[in-house]
Amino acid sequence: MSAYAHRDGDSRACGASNIVTGQNFVKIDGKLWSVDGDDNSDGGGAVHTSHSWLTIGGIGIIVVGDSADADSLCPIPGGDHCNPSATGSDNFVSVS
């Protein structure tokens, strides 16, 4: 099974945008590739890698479907703020 690369500015399940702060040199289609621990624009919501064998600077990369900690808007009924997982992506880089 493969998944697509999640990047800076890509969407999260809650509608927030991903914010890459864990690395500053690997880009995909002009945007930084997200790594373990990056937060979202709602505050908090650190994502967690499911591909720890593939790293950038020793930090696991993030792909669509990777889970996340609750962000600052959890719990809002009907929202995904308690697990704002990675949903947006670049469709050119697939990780198997």
What pLDDT is recorded for position 52?
87
pLDDT beyond 70 at 19: yes
pLDDT in tens, 24-74: 999 999 999 999 999 999 999 999 999 889 999 999 999 999 999 999 999
What pLDDT is recorded for position 1?
55
pTM (2 d.p.): 0.92
For the segment 66-88, the average pLDDT, to the nearest whole number, is 90
What pLDDT is recorded for position 78?
64
Q: Sketch out the chain's domains with CATH numbers.
A: 1-88 (2.60.200.60)
Query: Residue 48, CB half-sphere, CA atoms under 13 Å: how many?
Result: 6
* 40 sits in which H/E element: strand 39-40
